[in-house]
Amino acid sequence: MKRECLDCAQYKKRIEYLESELAYVKFELEDLRSKRYKPNKKPPCNTLTPPSSHPKKRGGLFGHIGWFRKKPRKIDRIEEVRLNECPECGSKDLTECKKTHEHIQEDIVLPKVETTLYRKHRYYCKSCKRVISPKGTDEIPGSCIGPRAKAFAAFLRFAIKISENDVTSLFEKAFNLKISSSSISGFMDQLKREAQPIYHNLLSSLKESSFIHADETGWPLDGKNHWLWKFSNKKICISHIDKSRGQNVLEKMIGTEYKGVLISDFLSAYNKIAAKAKQRCLVHILRDLEKVMEYWHDDLEVMRYCERLKKIFEKAIALYNEYKNKRWDKVYCSRRESIANALKDFDFPNPNKRILKRFAKRLKRHKNEILTFLYEKNIDYHNNHAEQQIRPDVIFRKITFGNRSYAGAQNHSIIMSILQTAKLNSIDPIGAVEKILLRSPENPLAKALSP
d(CA 186, CA 162): 16
Q: Which amino acid is at 368?
A: N
User: Is the Cβ–Cβ distance between 216 and 230 less than 8 Å?
Assistant: yes
The C-alpha atoms of residue 378 and residue 136 are separated, in whole angstroms, by 47
What is the chain's pLDDT, residue by residue, as a tens digit (451 residues)? 455 566 777 777 777 667 666 776 777 676 666 665 555 555 554 444 555 556 666 766 666 666 677 878 788 888 888 888 888 888 888 888 888 888 888 877 777 888 999 888 988 888 888 888 888 988 998 889 999 999 999 999 999 999 999 999 999 999 889 999 889 999 999 999 999 999 999 999 999 999 999 999 999 999 899 999 999 999 999 999 999 999 999 999 999 899 999 999 999 999 989 999 999 999 999 998 888 888 788 888 888 888 999 999 999 999 999 998 899 999 999 999 999 998 887 666 666 677 777 778 888 888 899 999 999 999 999 999 999 999 999 999 999 999 999 999 999 999 999 999 999 999 999 999 999 999 999 999 999 987 7
How do 123-125 and 130-132 pair as beta strands? Answer: antiparallel
The confidence score (pLDDT) of residue 7 equals 72
Please give the model's pTM, rounded to 2 decimal places.
0.81
In this structure, which amino acid lies at residue 420? Q
The phi, psi pair for 274, rounded to 5°, reads -75, 135
Separation between Cα atoms, residue 109 and residue 111, nearest integer Å: 6
CA distance 314 to 214: 24
33-69 b/e (C-beta count within 10 Å ≥ 16 → b):
eeeeeeeeeeeeeeeeeeeeeeeeeeeeeeeeeeeee
Answer whether 414's CB lies under 8 Å from 196's CB: yes
User: What's the pLDDT score for residue 360?
Assistant: 80
Boundaries of every domain in the chain: 211-386
Which amino acid does the sequence have at 27? F
Residue (of 156, 237, 235, 193) closest to 439 by Cα position: 193
